[in-house]
């Protein structure tokens, strides 16, 4: 069975987000071995300088690097990434599986973004939308799209 890991920087607190995440995680586990890895967001001052933001992103990068599964196909969610339809994402995951990879890893960075050296090692940079979303909502959207991609590959009726 294929492994999918979602690394997130920051934790969910609101019950409605936790409930939605749990539902999609449960659904995903019907198609793959799914792992969610939550990493702490670096605490920064209320109005951080660019240097403080970069230092925080570098600290987060060390944690991220330690959690990417060895040999995983790696995708970062970032505003400058490529826009894809659900069908295109399903095809990309299918291609990854056919390439011999046994796992994929997706990353949602902190509210300040992702260190450039993490982005540099990504096999794919993916954008959810040109719009801005709260990171907590982005996690639900990614989980839903991963579930949808697996459902498309399996030929279920979920995707219409």
Residue 159 has pLDDT above 80, yes or no: no
Residues of the chain with pLDDT > 90, as a percent, come to 92
The partner residues of 124 in beta bridges, in order of sequence, read 75
Domains of the chain: total: 1
Please report the pLDDT score of residue 135 as a whole number.
Answer: 86
Integer Cα distance of 135 and 9 in angstroms: 9
Please report the pLDDT score of residue 160 as a whole number.
Answer: 66
Supply the CATH number for residue 140's domain. Answer: 3.40.1280.10
In a domain, 33, yes or no: yes
Q: What is the DSSP string of 2-53?
A: -EEEEEEES---SHHHHHHHHHHHHHHTTTSEEEEEEEPPPP--SS--HHHH
Vertex 12, ends 145 and 110: CA angle to 5°?
80
In a domain, 11, yes or no: yes
User: Residue 124 — pLDDT band, cuts 50, 70, 90?
Assistant: very high
Residues 6 or more apart in contact with residue 17 via CB below 8 angstroms: 136, 137, 139, 140
Q: Which residue has the tokens 């719009």?
A: 131
In a domain, 159, yes or no: no
- HSE toward the beta carbon, residue 25, CA cutoff 13 A: 13
First to last CA, the chain: 25
Bigger pLDDT: 19 vs 132:
19
Strand pairing report for 33-39 and 3-9: parallel
pLDDT tens for residues 59-88?
999 999 999 999 999 999 999 999 999 999
In a domain, 48, yes or no: yes
In a domain, 127, yes or no: yes
In a domain, 60, yes or no: yes
Instruction: Tell me the residue range of the domain where 50 lies.
Output: 3-154
pLDDT tens for residues 5-37?
999 999 999 999 999 999 999 999 999 999 999
In a domain, 160, yes or no: no
CA distances 78 to 123, 130, 160, Å, are 13, 10, 26
- Closest Cα partner for 92 from 119, 117, 64, 125? 125
Residues of the chain with pLDDT > 70, as a percent, come to 99
In a domain, 50, yes or no: yes
């Amino acid at each position: 069975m294929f492994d999918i890991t979602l690394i997130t920087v920051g934790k969910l607190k609101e019950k409605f987000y936790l409930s939605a995440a749990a539902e999609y995680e449960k659904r995903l586990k019907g198609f793959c071995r799914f792992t969610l890895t939550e990493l702490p967001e670096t605490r920064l001052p209320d109005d951080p300088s660019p240097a403080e933001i970069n230092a925080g992103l570098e600290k987060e990068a060390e944690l991220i690097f330690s959690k990417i599964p060895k040999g995983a196909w790696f995708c970062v969610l970032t505003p400058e990434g490529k826009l894809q339809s659900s069908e295109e994402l399903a095809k990309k995951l299918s291609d990854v599986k056919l390439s011999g990879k046994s796992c994929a890893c997706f990353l949602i960075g902190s509210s300040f973004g992702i260190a450039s050296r993490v982005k540099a090692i990504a096999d794919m940079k993916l954008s959810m939308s040109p719009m801005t979303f709260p990171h907590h909502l982005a996690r639900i959207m990614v989980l839903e799209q991963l579930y949808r991609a697996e459902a498309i590959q399996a030929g279920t009726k979920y995707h219409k």
